[in-house]
Amino acid sequence: MDLLDTTVVPEHAHEIKEDAREFAAEHIAPNAAEYYESGKYPWEILEDGMDAGLVAQDISEEYGGRGLDLHQILAIAEEFYRADAGIALTLQLASFGCAIVEEYGNEEQKEEYLRPVAENEQISGLAVSEPETGSDLAGMDTTAEKDGDEYVLNGEKYWIGNGVEAQWITVYAKTGDDPNNRYGNYSLFIVPTDTEGYDAEHIPEKMGFRASKQAHIEFNDARIPEENLIGTEGAGFYMVAEFFNHGRIIVGGHGLGLAAAAIEEAADFVHDRSAFGRNVSEFQAVQHILSDMRTEFTAARTLNWQAADHVANKDNAGYWAAMAKVKSTETANDCAERGMQLHGGRSVLTENRISRVYRDVRIPVIYEGANEIQRNLIYRQAQW
Ligand SMILES: Cc1cc2nc3c(=O)[nH]c(=O)nc-3n(C[C@H](O)[C@H](O)[C@H](O)COP(=O)(O)OP(=O)(O)OC[C@H]3O[C@@H](n4cnc5c(N)ncnc54)[C@H](O)[C@@H]3O)c2cc1C
């Protein structure tokens, strides 16, 4: 059974997919249980991923990366997440936010900030969410006030991947206060994490994605030069919204990898287990559950890869990205739930892969925009 086969994957992503599969089998899967238990940041695996040319390589060749495109990053996501979601997120977040700098930044910013990430000397992050606001992008409170040739940042960010580990992060902050132009009040900035007034600490332990780390950041009069503004002041909301279209296709891949793991575990378990003098897989009710899991998985995967084409072609991207994210991440939840039931009592042993998957699937339905927000986007951007 090869659930993540290449049927829906375009030819140019096959090779990187194979590399990612081999890497996941050698470096991620065998270490998944240990990192889940310890909750440690997987530095060693991150470095192995860098050596394998699979980390931060979405940055273009011009700035030192491999220029991997959306389909190639999606292919890596499926393979990595099938092996372990927490380690996978850490590997995939090493260049989080860089695509924004590449798309909207100037030459100096790209040379100074993208190249070290592409060359794996630094890692980055993206800080949008706040302790009191996550879904409402036009409701964030962190401010960036202009003072001479600097911006002064004040406020808090929460859930920020690599907020402690990164050398710099892209920060979303309020630069205007026009109630009639809610979407024009925000801008994006490159903020080095050694800036005075930048303080970050890890948030408390999570039940899932244990090998990834998020931070609570406080900005107390953190001053950055005006050159660190990305693109135009007031355009931050639109830049982030565009960036999330790509991100949601990849998060769909997170769901697909997790769903594949759940199906594999469920199928293995019922084929190895007996009850009432029969193999559990012989019960028709069990076969129907496995059939439903595969049907939903195949539907989700087909949609996700089709949506990737639409997003890559900028063809109603927001609509397709939101649908892919909803379908793939919720399919992961359904598959994990059913996989748990098929494991009987053993489902709740924390050392078992199915119970890791069950805890992990709760997260992609939330990050990169909770699925309720995706449904709002689908409705608004659909033609009725
Ligand atoms: C592991 C992890 C990693 C993350 N990494 C990052 C990161 O690197 N950078 C970053 O900026 N953020 C990150 N996030 C934050 C994530 O994007 C937010 O958690 C998410 O956007 C939801 O925001 P919230 O948690 O504040 O929920 P809220 O906005 O408070 O929403 C709570 C719930 O209310 C409901 N709801 C809210 N609004 C609506 C609506 N309009 N209609 C219907 N229902 C609604 C939904 O059920 C939603 O789940 C991460 C989160 C997690 C869990």
Q: Read off the pLDDT of residues 297-313 as tens digits, 9 standing for 90 and up.
A: 999 999 999 999 999 99
CA of 369 to the centre of ligand 1 (A): 6
Structure tokens at 194: 């050694």
Tally Cβ neighbours within 10 Å of residue 202. 14
126 C-beta closer than 6 A to ligand 1: yes
pLDDT at residue 7, rounded to an integer? 97
Q: Which atom of ligand 1 is nearest the CA belonging to 172?
A: 11
Rounded Cα–Cα distance for residues 200 and 191 (Å): 13
Average pLDDT for 171-197:
97
CA gyration radius, the chain: 21
Q: Which listed residue (44, 201, 368, 372) is catalytic?
A: 368
- pLDDT bucket at 32, cuts 50 / 70 / 90: very high
Structure tokens at 237: 């909301």
Which residue among 136, 367, 368, 376 has the greatest number of ligand 1 atoms within 8 angstroms of its CB, and so is best to mutate? 367
Residue count (the chain): 384
pLDDT at residue 40, rounded to an integer? 95
Average pLDDT for 149-176:
98
CA of 15 to the centre of ligand 1 (A): 34
Half-sphere exposure of 372 (CA within 13 A, CB side): 3
Q: Using DSSP bridges, classify how beta strands 198-202 and 214-225 pair: parallel, antiparallel or unpaired.
A: antiparallel
- Note whether 200 and 166 are within 8 A (CB): no
Asked about 330 being catalytic, the answer comes back as: no
- pLDDT bucket at 335, cuts 50 / 70 / 90: very high
- Note whether 367 and 128 are within 8 A (CB): no
State the DSSP H helix or E strand holding residue 305, giving kind and residue range, or none if neither: helix 284-312
List the beta bridge partners of residue 147.
Answer: 150
Structure tokens at 90: 């850490």
Ligand 1: residue whose CA is nearest its atom 23: 134
pLDDT at residue 259, rounded to an integer? 98
31 C-beta closer than 6 A to ligand 1: no
CA of 367 to the centre of ligand 1 (A): 6
CA of 375 to the centre of ligand 1 (A): 14
pLDDT at residue 135, rounded to an integer? 96
DSSP helix/strand/coil, 164 = coil
Average pLDDT for 138-158:
98
Structure tokens at 261: 């793991």
pLDDT at residue 101, rounded to an integer? 98
State the DSSP H helix or E strand holding residue 160, giving kind and residue range, or none if neither: strand 150-161
Tally Cβ neighbours within 10 Å of residue 77. 25
DSSP assignment, residue 204? P
Average pLDDT for 271-277:
97
Q: Is the pTM of this model over 0.75?
A: yes
pLDDT at residue 269, rounded to an integer? 98
CA of 272 to the centre of ligand 1 (A): 39
pLDDT at residue 369, rounded to an integer? 97
135 C-beta closer than 6 A to ligand 1: yes
Mean pLDDT score of the chain: 97
- pLDDT bucket at 209, cuts 50 / 70 / 90: very high
pLDDT at residue 299, rounded to an integer? 98
134 C-beta closer than 6 A to ligand 1: yes
- CA 368 from centre of chain: 7
Tally Cβ neighbours within 10 Å of residue 291. 11
Torsion of CA 325, 326, 327, 333, to 10 degrees: 100
pLDDT at residue 56, rounded to an integer? 97
Average pLDDT for 351-373:
97
85 C-beta closer than 6 A to ligand 1: no
Q: Using DSSP bridges, classify how beta strands 124-127 and 168-174 pair: parallel, antiparallel or unpaired.
A: parallel
pLDDT at residue 371, rounded to an integer? 98
Rounded Cα–Cα distance for residues 358 and 274 (Å): 23
- CA 85 from centre of chain: 9
- pLDDT bucket at 216, cuts 50 / 70 / 90: very high
Average pLDDT for 355-379:
98
Structure tokens at 244: 């999330």
pLDDT at residue 93, rounded to an integer? 97
